[in-house]
Amino acid sequence: MTALNVLIYPDDHLKVVCEPVTEVNDAIRKIVDDMFDTMYQEEGIGLAAPQIGRSIRLSVIDLDVLSEHYPEYKGFRKAFINPHILEVDEESEMLTSEEGCLSIPGIHENVDRRTRIHVKWMDEDFNEHDEWIEGYLARVMQHEFDHLDGVLFTDRISPLRKQLVKNKLTAMSKGKYRAAYRTKAAQR
């Protein structure tokens, strides 16, 4: 198991529509393990394969860190292979909540998302799951599975906010942001 570097915006891997996983072999299991390690190192709750440069439809999610406030997520640690959102319950509540992304460090923005979705995926044994998912997990899934289609949460924010973060993203794409972040961190 190896913690890898998370690719940072605007890395091309983050824009790719990923390919389905055709079988779960040792190589895929190794990628899953590495993704969990990478996510824990970065203190994230979710990570998608393109964020470590693999253009395959695979995400990992661990919500155990939230279990103090959401007891139902105690021990929740899962890999999602070929996940697909079949349906969004348009009758469910639309919630606004702040999101961030390990690939877009330093930017946090409110994103509106429905709270109930119908999802299909394969687990690490390649067994198929078909479930309605509610609550915070539904949000995390929507964020993570978007990555597999090259979509970032900043593509989902309001046009006004998008304009405001555009400058930050441009600075990041020129590498200015990371330098500034390091300088700031060093001053503490």
The catalytic site residues sit at: 144
Which CB sits closer to Ni ion, 24 or 109? 109
The 3-state DSSP class for residue 77 equals strand
Nearest-angstrom CA–CA distance, 59 and 117: 17
Beta carbons within 10 angstroms of residue 184's beta carbon: 10
Positions 83 through 102 that interact with Ni ion (CB under 5 A): 101
Beta carbons within 10 angstroms of residue 72's beta carbon: 12
Count of residues touching Ni ion (by CB under 5 A): 1
Q: Is 148 in the site for Ni ion (CB under 5 A)?
A: no
Phi and psi dihedrals of 104, rounded to 5?
A: -130, 65
Closest CB 188 distance from Ni ion, rounded Å: 26
Which sign, positive or negative, has the C-alpha torsion 113, 154, 77, 67? Answer: negative
Which CB sits closer to Ni ion, 21 or 61? 61
Which CB sits closer to Ni ion, 24 or 52? 52
Closest CB 103 distance from Ni ion, rounded Å: 6
Binding site for Ni ion (CB under 5 A): 101
